């Protein structure tokens, strides 16, 4: 019976997260109440409070459900990745762009995060979490960049930190502008062509 109760609790949690995705996407995060999410999920507001302390915690869990698996794949480094760190960055980016372009849930969550959230009221704490997550992504990319420079794959005169921040901004800008207008350009085609041009500028002549 205890196992069934645990499974039921997990199922209810997923139901709440699914409802939060739908309502946040339709109404925006700041305009959405927990009561509206509960109604969409067919639950009481008390059921939501049993799983989440407030709307900020619910929003964070909704984001993590999509982003944590993506980050786990990106931060895993194999011996092959260590031998070719710039290729690892390229594969990471290709995977992220492919998921955003073709996975409806990933696209929906990124749309919420970039277009439909304001860091006000109970969501103010989420700004700090967003910054922390961004910094972790930058640090992971920086480690690969530094490894590439140490191996002689990057131009010696390149500032690794600046190159990392520029690449992070480039990828983020592509995702943001595509989500704003998906018909404006092909995210994967344009994204990878732009990435390749950027990486070509970083590569040492002997590694080109």
Q: 53: exposed, middle or buried (C-beta count within 10 Å: 0-12, 13-18, 19+)? A: exposed
Given a contact cutoff of 8 angstroms between Cβ atoms, the answer to whether 56 and 130 are in contact is: no
What are the tens digits of pLDDT across the range 6-58? 888 899 999 999 999 999 999 999 899 999 999 999 999 999 999 999 999 99
Q: Who wins on pLDDT, 177 or 130?
A: 177
What are the tens digits of pLDDT across the range 121-146? 777 888 888 899 899 999 999 999 99
- C-alpha distances in Å from residue 191, one per residue of 84, 85, 88, 160, 203: 20, 19, 16, 21, 18
Question: Under DSSP, is residue 85 helix (H, G, I), strand (E, B) or coil?
Answer: helix
């Amino acid at each position: 019976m205890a196992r069934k109760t645990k499974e039921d609790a997990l199922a209810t949690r997923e139901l709440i997260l699914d409802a939060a995705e739908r309502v946040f996407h339709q109404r925006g995060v700041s305009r959405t109440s927990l009561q509206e999410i509960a109604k969409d999920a067919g639950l009481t507001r008390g059921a939501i409070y049993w799983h989440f302390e407030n709307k900020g915690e619910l929003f964070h869990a909704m984001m993590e459900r999509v982003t944590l698996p993506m980050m786990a794949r990106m931060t895993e480094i194999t011996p092959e990745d260590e031998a070719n760190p710039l290729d690892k960055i390229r594969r990471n980016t290709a995977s992220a762009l492919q998921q955003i372009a073709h996975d409806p849930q990933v696209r929906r969550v990124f749309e919420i995060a970039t277009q439909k959230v304001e860091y006000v009221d109970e969501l103010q704490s989420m700004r700090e979490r967003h910054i922390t997550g961004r910094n972790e992504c930058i640090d992971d990319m920086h480690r690969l960049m530094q490894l590439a420079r140490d191996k002689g794959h990057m131009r010696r005169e390149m500032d690794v930190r600046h190159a990392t921040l520029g690449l992070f901004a480039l990828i983020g800008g592509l995702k943001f502008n595509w989500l704003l207008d998906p018909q404006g350009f092909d995210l994967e085609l344009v994204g990878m062509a732009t990435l390749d041009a950027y990486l070509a500028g970083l590569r040492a002549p002997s590694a080109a």
